[in-house]
Every structure is written in structure tokens, then in C-alpha cells.
């Protein structure tokens, strides 16, 4: 059996799409082979990707963020089938996918002796030009109809859809399409170890890292940082912020982000990182923080996994987040250590967390860290999710 892992969004050595591929490549390199494995990335991946992953093949032309016809993806999949000489016994696994990828895989699956396909959806909504489009009833109706059309016509003999471990995402997809996806883990490869000692030092570093999509709260953190960094109440605080590809904003909001960036660059207590950080630098910045703000909007992230929240769990990093998100649920369930944002805003959540942090035992943080490291490891993903599905799913 051959397994081909496809990551359409892999272009740089940053972000979860890189971490997932690196984790899987490392696992199969170090383990006894259960199958012959290859990896496929975006055709425009930069040279640094191949420095870390020399065997990955640049064969995919359309990331989830790029416009293009389904036929382009079909052509790319057919090229993979030919290159890797894939047949019915083999499996193509999309570590990230959306509806266009599913449509293409479904079309290719109907070719005689084609491989099987497993595609993982990470989010219900596709990447949107304006994040607030999710509130448009007509757009929501059309998207639901598209899910019903695509998932209702799946070739279940050869195509299986899985999602991240978020129950509400499974329910949403089932409600609109009648298709019930399986929940899968997501592999991470954190290049860092457990951090926390269970206490805060006098000078604290507050961080906001990762992607700049509107629904992740970048603008909110920039506004908070601008206000806090000039207040005497925050003399013992530093701020680390990453401004990476802000999108989903209005023109006025983008202009505000640009102005805030200029203002904050002049503040001694603020470190502004522009653009993507490579994997090592990203984890270095993450470890330098004492608290990470994961300000995902509840309307968007009630049915989405947060990669940075998983990473914070792995290293024992306290987080501040909104209720109604997957992160907020983890905090309430005791899986993540942190504080929920209430009526008193980010400032109130921060000072509540600061007051009680010394009461949280280091051993409990370490136990939580071990849970995240195990659950989101490549080994767990392969042995307890992927391989059982390949062998036990009723492929007809």
C-alpha cells in the first residue's frame, strides 16, 4: 500500500500546514514502514520547504486560498496517480481540504482502478474576502446547498471525509448535508518542550502570534496593546505581536492596522513581527511569552480547531480566549489553563489570570502538556486514526 499525503497550502516553513507535514514525515522516517509514503505540496513552495522536507513533491497548483476551477485540481490528482503509480490499494490523504478538493477527488475516484481518498476539513467556511460574510443569510444558504451537493454525491466506495476533533463542526456538516464525517486528530511537531514553572515573573510578556485573519482577533489585540503600552498599570508588561497577512478586513480596518503598526513600532515595550515566522523562530517567540491571547471570534471558531491553542497546551502556556469558541470550551473543561474574557474585556481577564496563576500546580500543567503532546502527535494520528480508517472503514 502507498499513502500520498497532500497539503495544498504548504508553501513556506511556517504555520500548521508545515508542522503537520514535518510531523508526519518525521514519524514515517523513524518508524517501521506500514506503507510506502510520499508527500505533495503546493507547486510554488519556496526552497526552504525542501530544505526541511527534501522528498516532498511540488505538484498542487491551488491552495484553499486561491481561486480556480475544479478541473485544475482533477488534473493535478491525475498527475499524482500517474507519477506514483497509484491503484485501488493505495490512499491519497489530504491533511487540509475544502469542497473543491473533495469534488476533484470524487471525480478521480470514479476512474477505473483509482486510489482511495481521505480528505480532512478543518473549517466549515471557505476562506472569505470579508470575514463578516458568514453572517450573510443568502451566502450561508448557498454554502449549505453546496455541501449537500458535494457530500451527497460522494463515491463512498473510495472517498471518505474526516474533520478536526470539534463536535460542533461534525454537527454543522451533518445538519446541512446529511453526511456524518469522522473526527480525526491533527498532527503537530512542536520544536519545543514543556515551558511553565507554574508561576509568573514580575515582568510579563503578552503575546499574539499566528495568522492575521480578522476572525482571529489581530486588530483587537493591536488596539489593546496600543492602549495598555502607554498605561502605568502595564509598566511591568512587554508585548509581542505578529502581523501576518491581515485579511478579511474592510479598507478602513486595514488602514487602522497600518497606523497602529507604525505607532507600536515606536513603543519600547512592544515587539512587532511583520510577516511569517519560520518554525524555529515562531516557537522561540511563543516560548518567550507568559500569556498568549487567542482572540478567535466565537461566531467563527465555535466550530473550528485552534492550532495555536493546541501548541499552548503542549508547552503549558496560559491563554486568554473568548467563551463560545473551541478554546473557551477547553478552558472550561480544564484541558487548557487560562482565563475567559468577560464584560471587563482583555484587561480584566489578564489581571484575573495573574491573580490566580500561582495557585495552579506545575504538576497539573505538566499533565495537561502530556495530554496535548500525545493526542496531537503524528504517532497517534497515524496509528489510532488513519490506519484504522484505511483498514476498517467499509470501502464497499
- Any idea what the CATH number is for the domain that residue 223 is in? 3.40.50.2000
**pLDDT value at residue 33:** 64
Q: Is 267 exposed, middle or buried (0-12, 13-18, 19+ CB in 10 A)?
A: middle
Output Rg (C-alpha) for the chain, integer angstroms: 21
**pLDDT value at residue 194:** 55
Residue 197 lies in a domain: no
Asked whether residue 52 falls in the same domain as residue 82, the answer is: yes
Residue 35 lies in a domain: yes
**pLDDT value at residue 309:** 93
Q: Which of 57, 71, 67, 146 lies closest to 104, judged by CA?
A: 71
Residue 315 lies in a domain: yes
Asked whether residue 368 falls in the same domain as residue 381, the answer is: no
Q: How far apart are CA 245 and CA 276, in angstroms?
A: 8
Query: CB-based contacts of 355: which residues, under 8 Å, 6+ apart?
Result: none
Asked whether residue 21 falls in the same domain as residue 164, the answer is: yes
Residue 182 lies in a domain: yes
Coil, strand or helix at 103:
helix
Asked whether residue 236 falls in the same domain as residue 301, the answer is: yes
Asked whether residue 384 falls in the same domain as residue 343, the answer is: no
Q: How many CB atoms lie within 10 A of CB 35?
A: 16
Asked whether residue 177 falls in the same domain as residue 210, the answer is: no
Give the global pTM: 0.91
Asked whether residue 123 falls in the same domain as residue 37, the answer is: yes
Residue 194 lies in a domain: no
Q: Which domain holds residue 123?
A: 2-187+377-392
Task: Report CA torsion sign: 133, 138, 144, 149.
Answer: negative
Residue 264 lies in a domain: yes
For 239-266, write each residue's pLDDT tens digit: 999 999 898 899 999 999 999 999 999 9
DSSP notation for 135-183: G-HHHHHHHHHHHHHHHHT--TTTEEEEE-S-HHHHHHHHHHHS--PEE
Residue 233 lies in a domain: yes
**pLDDT value at residue 32:** 63
Asked whether residue 246 falls in the same domain as residue 366, the answer is: yes
**pLDDT value at residue 195:** 57
Looking up residue 112, the CATH number of its domain turns out to be 3.40.50.11930
Asked whether residue 180 falls in the same domain as residue 211, the answer is: no
What is the rounded (10 degree) CA torsion for 286, 287, 291, 294? 20
For 320-362, write each residue's pLDDT tens digit: 999 988 899 999 999 999 999 999 999 999 999 988 876 667 7
Residue 198 lies in a domain: no
Asked whether residue 217 falls in the same domain as residue 326, the answer is: yes
Asked whether residue 79 falls in the same domain as residue 213, the answer is: no
Total domains, the chain: 2
**pLDDT value at residue 365:** 80
Spell out, as residue ranges, where the chain has pLDDT lower than 70.
Answer: 31-34, 190-200, 301, 358-360, 395-396
Decide: 37 and 2 in contact? Cβ < 8 Å: yes
Asked whether residue 368 falls in the same domain as residue 387, the answer is: no
Amino acid at each position: 500500500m502507498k499513502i500520498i499525503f497532500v497539503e495544498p497550502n504548504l508553501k513556506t516553513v511556517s504555520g500548521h500546514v508545515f508542522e503537520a507535514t514535518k510531523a508526519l514525515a518525521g514519524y514515517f522516517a523513524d518508524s517501521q514502514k506500514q506503507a510506502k509514503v510520499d508527500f505533495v505540496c503546493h507547486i510554488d513552495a519556496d526552497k526552504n520547504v525542501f530544505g526541511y522536507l527534501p522528498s516532498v513533491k511540488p505538484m498542487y497548483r491551488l491552495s484553499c486560498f486561491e481561486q480556480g476551477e475544479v478541473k485544475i485540481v482533477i488534473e493535478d490528482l491525475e498527475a499524482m496517480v500517474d507519477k506514483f503509480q497509484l491503484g485501488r490499494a493505495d490512499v491519497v490523504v489530504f491533511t487540509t481540504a475544502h469542497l473543491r478538493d473533495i469534488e476533484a477527488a470524487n471525480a478521480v475516484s470514479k476512474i477505473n482502478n483509482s486510489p482511495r481518498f481521505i480528505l480532512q476539513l478543518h473549517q466549515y467556511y471557505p476562506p472569505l474576502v470579508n470575514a463578516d460574510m458568514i453572517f450573510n443569510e443568502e451566502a450561508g444558504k448557498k454554502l449549505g446547498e453546496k455541501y449537500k451537493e458535494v457530500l451527497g454525491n460522494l463515491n463512498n466506495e473510495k472517498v471518505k471525509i474526516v474533520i478536526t476533533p470539534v463536535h460542533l463542526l461534525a454537527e454543522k456538516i451533518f445538519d446541512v448535508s446529511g453526511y456524518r464525517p469522522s473526527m480525526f486528530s491533527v498532527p503537530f511537531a512542536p520544536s519545543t518542550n514543556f515551558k511553565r514553572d507554574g508561576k509568573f515573573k514580575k515582568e510579563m510578556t503578552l503575546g499574539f502570534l499566528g495568522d492575521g485573519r480578522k476572525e482571529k482577533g489581530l486588530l483587537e489585540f493591536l488596539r489593546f496593546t496600543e492602549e495598555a503600552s502607554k498605561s502605568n498599570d502595564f509598566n511591568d508588561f512587554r508585548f509581542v505581536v505578529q502581523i501576518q497577512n491581515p485579511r478579511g478586513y474592510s479598507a478602513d480596518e486595514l488602514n487602522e492596522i497600518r497606523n497602529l503598526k507604525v505607532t507600536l513600532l515606536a513603543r519600547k515595550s512592544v515587539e512587532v513581527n511583520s510577516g511569517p515566522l519560520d518554525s524555529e523562530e515562531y516557537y522561540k517567540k511563543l516560548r518567550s511569552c507568559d500569556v498568549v491571547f487567542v482572540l478567535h471570534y466565537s461566531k467563527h471558531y465555535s466550530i473550528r480547531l485552534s492550532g495555536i491553542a493546541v501548541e499552548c497546551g503542549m508547552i503549558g502556556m496560559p491563554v486568554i480566549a473568548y467563551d463560545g469558541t473551541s478554546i473557551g470550551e477547553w478552558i472550561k473543561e480544564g484541558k487548557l489553563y487560562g482565563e475567559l474574557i468577560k464584560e471587563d474585556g482583555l484587561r480584566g481577564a489578564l489581571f484575573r489570570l495573574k491573580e490566580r496563576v500561582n495557585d495552579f500546580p506545575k504538576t497539573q500543567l505538566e499533565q495537561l502538556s502530556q495530554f496535548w503532546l500525545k493526542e496531537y502527535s503524528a504517532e497517534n494520528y497515524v496509528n489510532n486514526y488513519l490506519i484504522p480508517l484505511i483498514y476498517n472503514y467499509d470501502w464497499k
